[in-house]
Amino acid sequence: MNTDQLTLTFTALADPTRRQILARLAGGEATVNEIAAPFPISLQAVSKHLKVLEKAGLIARGKDRQLRPSRIQGAAFKEAASFLEDYRQFWDESFDRLGEHLHGD
Amino acid sequence: MATEISIKRVYTATPQQVWAAWTEPDQLARWWGKRGWNARPDSIVLDVRPGGAFRVTTVNDEDGSEMTNEGTYTEVDEPHRLVLGETVVTFRDLGDGRTEMHFQTTTEASGELLQRMKGGVESAFERLEEALR
């Protein structure tokens, strides 16, 4: 995944409603109506959120024109998580090495 | 909505020594980067003054791929506090020959995801991760 795709992923994850939608979908696929039920927002607004999530690669949607059930896509999560892990690891390992340097190991 | 990533380490060294490890190129070259990556000495620019440039390129030992970190010093208070854009490093003298280094940084990306992890949906993502194994 390239940086632009990662940006899309993180931007998609930045919104609390979209995170709640993802949490819902982690329990299994659902239609727009099912997803929208617990939210005090319109179907159109939910559809917009789903579009953002789909573009970010976080969900996939079925071909059925009426229902288009959404489900979680794992790869984008893995990429996002490994990006963060890399970032954290960079500093952790650098600071281990700094300790070795300072302590004369 | 950037969130902080915070790492604290205690070193058996004076604040001045830890400061030097951050600000002298030949010292920085010895520790900067993940294991398996090494700073290219000729790439290091540490113009340690407000507005001065910071740049380090690390090279992967195995495949020669390169990664550059760069920024601008915004605050320089030797040997207490170093600020590089979104990154703040402080050095606190513990008075017993040791120094506590506190490293804080924010990025939009990592910050947002960390916030997500602290929110209530963590378990859902854990289940997701398990499902992907």
Residues of A in contact with B129 (CB under 8 A): 77, 81
pTM for the model stands at 0.63
What confidence score (pLDDT) does residue B37 get? 85
Domain that holds residue B123: 3-132
Classify residue B95 as exposed, middle or buried by CB count within 10 Å of its CB (0-12, 13-18, 19+). exposed
**How many structural domains compose chain B?**
1
**Are A77 and B127 an interchain contact pair (Cβ–Cβ within 8 Å)?**
no
Query: CA of B69, closest CA in chain A: separation in Å?
Result: 11
Handedness of CA B6, B9, B15, B20 (dihedral sign): negative
The model's pLDDT over B33-56, given as tens digits with 9 standing for 90+, comes to 888 888 999 999 999 999 999 888
Placement of tokens 């939608």 in the chain: A21
Residue to substitute from B9, B58, B98, interface A, most A β-carbons within 10 A: B9
Of B11, B112, B127, the CB nearest to A26: B127
Three-state SS string across chain A, please? CCHHHHHHHHHHHCCHHHHHHHHHHHCCCECHHHHHCCCCCCHHHHHHHHHHHHHCCCEEECCCCCCCCEEECHHHHHHHHHHHHHHHHHHHHHHHHHHHHHHCC
**Are B7 and A95 an interchain contact pair (Cβ–Cβ within 8 Å)?**
yes
Query: CA of A34, closest CA in chain B: separation in Å?
Result: 18
| Span between the terminal Cα atoms of chain A, in Å | 38
CA proximity to B34, closest of B68, B5, B62, B58: B58
Residue type, B47: D
The model's pLDDT over A17-70, given as tens digits with 9 standing for 90+, comes to 898 888 888 888 899 999 999 888 999 999 999 999 999 889 999 887 777 888
* Domain CATH for B40: 3.30.530.20
Of B30, B112, B113, the CB nearest to A101: B30
